[in-house]
């Protein structure tokens, strides 16, 4: 069992038993580790205690983030920035395929693809001549299934497999060093004009913040298009890179996620912990 699988199992247990406020020894029993080992593992992964992590899974916390997220998102868009103080976040340049490129379906392209570990489990990463064109989370490292996922967008592309290459990309995508020290990541997608507008809006949501589907709809100029926004969010091919996990329901309920609700919860709590750690570092200066 990998560290992420242990964390995922623990998140599921915490979510189901949050009203009981389970103690550390009880949590350790769930993943068959000693309390000391669990504390070390969890702190290394999330940067906070299991109790603090549990608080970040509550509806009350999500609602608070929603209130913060709207003002932060508006401010980011007003000044044309991808988000304020994103010390542990990504800087992504998103380009959309032209109608001609979509029609060619990746003909004469070589897409480099491979599997890599991430803080949220195994992932599949693929890059083409214009940038990262696929990022998903997988349960098994099956090349046949992965090829089908990539070719759902780029049917005629040649796929070259290289896990070492994918690891190099994963190290950049999931890095926690300040974004200013790295080159912007280039992403390349195909989608309708509306979908691309939604995905670009998602890139404006800072780490540690969440917004509702309605807020995204308002941002893209279609105030009553929450359902269409939800559909566009669900069609995102670049998991984590385009942060669709930061969109939740108006009620504060985190909702479903294409790659599993536990993974969505772990991403949000992990980012909240990173944001809190950054704030504490600044406060201590």
Catalytically active residues are 244
- Structure tokens belonging to residue 241: 């890179």
Among 121, 164, 113, residue whose Cα is nearest residue 140: 121
Tokens of 198: 């939604």
CA distances from 136 to 14, 35, 94, 133, 171 (A): 25, 32, 17, 10, 15
Rounded Cα gap, residues 246 and 207, in angstroms? 8
Distance of alpha carbon 48 from alpha carbon 12, whole angstroms: 17
Tell me phi and psi for residue 156, to 5 degrees.
Answer: -100, 5
CB 146 within 8 A of CB 138: yes
Which strands make up the sheet holding 121-128, listed edge to edge? Answer: 92-96, 185-189, 131-137, 121-128, 110-118, 158-161
Q: Are 268 and 211 in contact (CB under 8 A)?
A: no
Please state, in angstroms and as integers, the Cα–Cα distance from residue 202 to each residue in 137, 207, 214, 230, following that order: 19, 11, 13, 12
Contact 213, 62 (CB under 8 A): no
Q: How far apart are CA 115 and CA 83, in angstroms?
A: 29
């Amino acid at each position: 069992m990998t560290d992420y699988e242990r964390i995922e199992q623990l998140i599921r247990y915490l979510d189901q038993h949050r009203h009981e406020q389970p103690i550390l020894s009880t949590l350790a029993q769930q993943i068959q580790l000693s309390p000391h080992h669990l504390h070390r593992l969890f702190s290394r992964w999330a940067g906070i205690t299991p109790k603090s992590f549990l608080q970040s899974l509550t509806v009350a916390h999500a609602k608070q983030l929603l209130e913060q997220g709207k003002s932060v998102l508006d401010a980011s868009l007003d000044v044309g920035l991808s988000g304020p103080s994103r010390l542990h976040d990504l800087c992504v340049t998103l380009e959309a395929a032209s109608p001609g490129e979509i029609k060619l379906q990746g003909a004469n392209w070589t897409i480099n693809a491979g599997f890599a570990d991430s803080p949220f489990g195994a992932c599949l990463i693929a890059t083409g001549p214009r940038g990262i064109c696929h990022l998903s989370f997988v349960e098994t490292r099956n090349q046949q299934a992965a090829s089908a996922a990539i070719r759902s967008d780029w049917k005629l592309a040649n796929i070259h497999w290289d896990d070492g290459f994918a690891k190099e990309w994963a190290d950049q995508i999931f890095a926690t060093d300040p974004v200013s020290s790295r080159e912007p990541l280039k992403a390349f997608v195909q989608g309708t004009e509306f979908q691309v507008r939604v995905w670009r809006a998602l890139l404006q949501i800072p780490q540690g913040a969440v917004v509702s589907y309605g807020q995204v709809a308002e941002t893209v100029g279609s105030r009553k298009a929450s359902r269409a926004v939800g559909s566009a969010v669900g069609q995102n091919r670049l998991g984590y890179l385009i942060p669709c996990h930061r969109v939740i329901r108006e009620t504060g309920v985190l909702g479903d996620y294409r790659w599993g609700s536990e993974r969505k919860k772990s991403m949000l709590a992990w980012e909240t912990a990173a944001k809190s750690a950054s704030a504490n570092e600044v406060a201590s200066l």
